[in-house]
Chains A and B, each alone.
Chain A
Amino acid sequence: MEATSTCPSYSARDYKSEVKPVWCPGCGDYSVLGSITKALAELSIPPERVALVSGIGCSSRLPAYTNVFGFHGVHGRALPIATGIKVSRPELTVIASGGDGDGFSIGGNHFMHACRRNVDMTYIVMDNEVYGMTKGQASPTTAPDWEKSKLTPQGTGINPFHPLVIALAAGANFIARGFSGDQNGTAQLITEAIRHPGFSFVQLLSPCVTFRPEQRDWKDMVHPAAVDPTDDPARAARRLMTDDGFNVGVLYRGSRKPFQPERQASVDSVADLEKEFVL
């Protein structure tokens, strides 16, 4: 969505609400909130024209902390709510957000189908490789040998899910990875994701300092992607399959046409439809 010159200009504060976040001090999600509001200010989209939808989890608490139209739904269902909003009100800027558990586990089916459907919206996942809200269980992106969860004390022993590869295979039109600690860089990624037509997926490494304190080290591990984004899915697949998971930047930019059904009436009234029933 392009800003027009007649739009009033906004600052990041205009997109923040008075509600105080419940997050733990040091949680990566604070910074994501900052990045999202910065991106919206950069794009100068009036707050009332933005819909921000989430599921359930620490990260999914985000909408209430903003001053846009928010929807805090149930666990795993942010994407279908966002789909319903965008398809019926295409003039709105629609963002879905949430955690790795919300998006890749309970909502995994919606994730694949949202990529495939390619509705023009942006999906931001704050990935901390853990279920923060339920106090530290393994998520689909948790390493198999993480033994700190009471539920899987020997580790899960199963391979983590690779959200970017799945997004690509399922048909997402824009794929990026960011690190919450880099608020400006992440704001830039989100800005690009919102601007890009179709379904844009942004994975944000956002540390859970409470249940994954070792993620504080992520700030030293992330590095900018070495090459420019590609529009070739085969090349993108190779890169995503082989990267170290800390490669940040825009990684894929596709050009698939977004899904947006026509909304042009061809009859004047419901009464016109009734003719088919008359004997």
Chain B
Amino acid sequence: MTARSVSITFAGSGGAGVMTAGNMLLDAAGRAGWYAYMTRSSGAQIRGGEAAAMMRLSTSPVQSHDDHFDVLVAIDWQNVGRFSAEIPMTSDGLVLGDPDGGDFPEQIGAKGARCADIPFKKMAKEIEGGRPNMIALGAVAGLVGLPEDAVLGVVRDSLAKKGEAARTASEASVRAGMAFAAGLPACPRLAAAEGQSERLWSITGNEAAGLGAVRGGIRFVAAYPITPGTEVLEWLAPNLAKLGGVLVQAEDELASINQIIGASYAGVPSLTATSGPGLALMTESLGLAVASETPITVVNVMRGGPSTGIPVKSEQSDLNIALYGLHGDAPHLVVAPNSLADCAFSTQWAVHLADSLQTAAIVLSDQSLGQSRATIAPPLDPGFRAIRLMPEGEAAERYRRYTNTASGVSPMAVPGMKGYQYTADGLEHNEYGTPSSAAADHSAQLDKRLRKLAVHDYGQHWADIEGDGDIAVLTWGSTTGPVREALERFRASGGRARLVSIRLISPVRPEQLAAALAGVARVLVVEQSHGAQFHRYLRAHYDLPGSVRAFHRPGPLPIRPNEIFRQLADWS
């Protein structure tokens, strides 16, 4: 039995090497020309607790999970039952575990999947320096049909620094696992790779966001750590330094956002990354960036909220604060990546838009995009750069920093430009920047700040639109992955439907959406939010044609393709 996609979970206690096995499987699949996707889950412990690497290997690009897992391999069973809800399986699934690996969890047994033993401990003992996780890696590689060369190549490269003995032991462990797999019950084998001409990348969404940032021209970053946004900053720290840029660890998010406002005012494209609680602290100063027309980009990697919520799990519930969290009338940009790879594109585009429009941009990524790893075709640099309109030549008269142009964008001087001194201000001001509470100045500046976002040509990037038919699924962000997959199945079953995944959340594009939905009789809205924030946003800003259904639920469990498929199939 061959399949175009196979899903596997490695699980085990802290120190069992689950993540190492997952990462190596991902890399090996990538080298063999398959696509791979991996999310991680861990227990409540800060470090060293039970862990699960949830993987999906596929013959075509894959950046989200399937409905079920085909294989669960537990290196030991300690606390693995805790992950049960995250590892849906059917009776076709295969559960592999060590009879000496502790008590078999009831929740796993309740799945009704087929079970088989792999005596990891015993097998490891028979190999000098043998490693159970490498045996598990070999067994899975054998089951799904990954070429031995690809797996051993990754093992050799990863352990190059660990010395000859460690490498030989791991290679022997992988081979033992592969040999053992031959006697195990069958599970779907992956169809042959569709020969990739280029070498794939292995990257996380958070790394991709960092890459998009520097591609866009970001050279100053202020950082305050918070899960799951931290890794954007951690990728940027060494890489910005290599580019001659600077990252400063700030004392809190109030400082980080104001540091980037300062650096941007000084002429250097600037960004910070955070997650919900940090975004909440930043909102006052986001308004400052809007009012003072200082371009900045904030990448917000969403997690379960409110308050400290569920830091390590995904949710699309910061939409409201990103859209409406600023006091006053404060038009700004909200851009949402809709796949792991799109974190690079969307962040770069946001940086470009922020600088072009001299305003604040919020990039709404989430934990499931940011902390997942995938092998992807190398994303080309789309060429967006942070380029600002600046005054030219000698300043003739007193500089009007906030001059009321037709486009709403006014030339922005930076310190050092002689004759162009001005004071940037969060107080309402006149065209010179001088504080003013006059009604005429207030409405002129409000209009200007709204107009510059309204009249800009955002091109085709405002949304991804695919397919046709009189049913449309409207979604955004990470739920786009499972929606895409559900639609493929729906089409395969004879249905016709289109996908509209909105990337430019703010400003809204009512005319474009109306065109995208022309002829639609039914609209299904899909999102991962308890309060249906996206649905309410659509209702507030757009006219949705025909009948509308909202499918929304909170995290932490990901929305799976079959849930969406059922919504479509059952709606008749």
Assembled-state Cα–Cα distance A82/B266 (Å) = 10
What's the Cα separation between A109 and B214 when bound, in Å? Answer: 30
- Beta-carbon contact of B268 and A74 below 8 Å: no
Judge whether B427 is part of the interface by a CB distance below 8 angstroms. Answer: yes
Is B435 touching A270 in the complex (CB atoms < 8 A)?
no
Most buried by B among A47, A51, A266: A51
Please pick, from B201, B241, B252, B417, the residue contacting A48 in the complex, using a CB distance under 8 A: B417
Give min CB distance, A253 to chain B, whole Å.
Answer: 25
Q: B202–A270 contact, CB under 8 A?
A: no
Which of A23-31, A84-92, A196-204, A234-242 lies on the face that meets chain B?
Answer: A84-92
Given A19-B434, A70-B421, A279-B199: A84 and B426 within 8 A (CB)? no
Q: Mark B196-220, 1 if CB is under 8 A from A, else 0.
A: 0001111100010001001100011
Task: Give the residues in chain A near B241, CB-CB below 8 Å.
Answer: 261-262, 266
Known: A83-B259, A87-B263. A267 touches B378 (CB 8 A): no
What residues on A are CB-neighbors of B48 within 8 Å? none
Mask for B272-303, Cβ within 8 A of A = 1, else 0?
A: 00000000000011011000100000000000
CB–CB B420/A89 < 8 A: no
Question: Does B245 belong to the interface (CB within 8 Å)?
Answer: yes
By size class, the interface of chain B is 35 or more
Enumerate B352-407 residues with CB–CB distance to A below 8 Å: 375, 378, 381, 398
Q: Which of B243, B252, B378 makes the CB contact (< 8 A) with A265?
A: B243
Q: Are A85 and B423 in contact (CB under 8 A)?
A: no
Asked if A165 is an interface residue, CB under 8 A from chain B, the answer is no
A contact set with B: CB distance below 8 Å: 18-19, 46-51, 53, 61, 63-64, 66-74, 76-77, 79-85, 87-89, 91-92, 109-110, 112-113, 261-267, 270-274, 277-279
Given A51-B266, A63-B423, A69-B422, the answer on whether A77 and B215 have CB atoms closer than 8 Å is no
A279 close to B265 (CB less than 8 A) = no
List the B side residues contacting A74 at CB < 8 Å.
258, 284-285, 287-288, 426
Cα A76 to Cα B252 in complex, Å, equals 13
Residues of B contacting A67 with CB < 8 Å? Answer: 421
Main SS at interface, chain B:
mixed
Bound form: Cα–Cα A277–B235 in Å: 12
Point out which of B265, B287, B422 has the most chain A C-beta atoms below 10 A from its C-beta: B265
- Interchain CB contact under 8 A, A270 and B243: yes
In the complex, are the beta carbons of A80 and B259 less than 8 A apart?
Answer: yes
Q: Does B27 lie within 8 Å of A261, measured CB to CB?
A: no
Contacts of A89 in B (CB 8 A): 263, 266-268, 415-416
Choose among A47, A81, A113 the residue with the greatest number of B CB atoms under 10 Å from its CB: A81
B258:A81 contact, CB within 8 angstroms:
yes
CB pair A263–B423 under 8 Å, yes or no, is no
Q: Do residues B258 and A279 form an inter-chain contact, with CB atoms below 8 A?
A: no
Shortest distance from the beta carbon of A52 to any chain B beta carbon, whole Å: 8
Please indicate the chain B residues that have their CB under 8 angstroms from the CB of A263 in the complex. 244-246
0 or 1 for each of B230-271: is its CB under 8 Å from A? (1 = yes): 000000000101111111101110111111111111111010
Given A89-B268, A278-B378, A279-B200, answer yes or no on A73-B211 (Cβ-Cβ < 8 Å): no
Whether A109 contacts B252 in the complex (CB less than 8 A), given A73-B426, A84-B222, A89-B266, comes out as yes
Q: Is the beta-carbon distance between A279 and B202 smaller than 8 angstroms? A: yes
Cβ contact within 8 Å between A72 and B220? no
Assuming A48-B419, A73-B261, is B255 touching A110 (CB within 8 A)? yes
Q: Within the assembled complex, what's the spacing in Å between the Cα atoms of A128 and B408?
A: 40
Verify B292–A71 contact, CB threshold 8 A: yes
Chain B residues near A91: list those with CB within 8 A. 416
**Min CB–CB distance A106 → chain B (angstroms):** 9
A81 CA to B207 CA in the complex, in Å?
A: 27
Please determine whether A53 and B262 come into contact, CB atoms closer than 8 angstroms.
yes
> Can you name 16 extra interface pairs (CB under 8 A) apart from A51-B266, A109-B252, A110-B255?
A48-B416, A48-B417, A64-B433, A69-B421, A77-B254, A81-B265, A84-B258, A87-B220, A263-B245, A265-B243, A267-B242, A270-B381, A274-B211, A278-B201, A279-B30, A279-B201
